[in-house]
Amino acid sequence: MTKTKRLVTGAFMLALGMVLPFVTMQIPLLGVMLSPMHIPALLTGFLCGPVLGLLIGFLMPLLRSVLFGMPVFYPNAVSMAFELATYGFVSGFIYHRYKSQNIKKVYITLLLSMLLGRIVWGVTRVIMLNVAHTPFSWQIFITDGFIRAVPAILLQLILIPLILDRLDQAHILPYR
């Protein structure tokens, strides 16, 4: 993919990350459960590589917080910025290191990206909430990072490989 196409794709993913949460904003719990900003962050890494994935992932929640007031800037948008930056970087870094891509490698990359992103989110929350003298336990980390995220994880495991497969069939992102 040319540099221009990567930049345009990254800008599109950033815009998508701004718009997708409007679909779930009438029911805030649905937004938490489906995590709509995670999808464009992960896709940016797959499509545009680790640097743009990191940048778009980091900017998305911060920009959305400043423009629309959601997510709340501190601590939510800040911790999400580090989480989504990790998603974008890891998905781009791992996926683009493979000499050939296939659906199995998409799933491996996706699972590693989601795991590392959630760990970074948890570490960021611990640091920020300790500064504010607010407890953040392992139970909260497991519940918020994994148990409540099961619908989002399933959605991402279904949608992202499907989108990448369709892009491959359209010769936009062919498997090498």
Domain borders along the chain are: 3-169
Q: Are 18 and 60 in contact (CB under 8 A)?
A: yes
Q: Which CATH number fits domain 3-169: 2.70.98.10, 1.20.1630.10, 3.20.20.10, 1.10.1760.20?
A: 1.10.1760.20
Q: Which residues contact 107 (CB under 8 A, 6 or more apart)?
A: 157, 161
Q: How far is C-alpha 2 from the geometric centre of its chain's CA atoms?
A: 23
- State the burial class of residue 137 (Cβ atoms within 10 Å of its Cβ: 0-12, 13-18, 19+): exposed
Q: Are 100 and 175 in contact (CB under 8 A)?
A: yes
Q: Which of 136, 133, 134 is nearest to 121 (CA)?
A: 136
Per-residue model confidence as pLDDT tens for the chain (176 residues) = 889 999 999 999 999 999 999 998 778 778 778 999 999 999 999 999 999 999 999 999 999 999 999 999 999 999 999 999 999 999 999 999 987 888 899 999 999 999 999 999 999 999 998 888 888 888 989 998 899 999 999 999 999 999 999 998 998 876 65
pLDDT the model gives residue 176: 52
At 101 the three-state DSSP class reads coil
Q: Which residues contact 172 (CB under 8 A, 6 or more apart)?
A: none
pLDDT the model gives residue 175: 60
pLDDT the model gives residue 138: 86
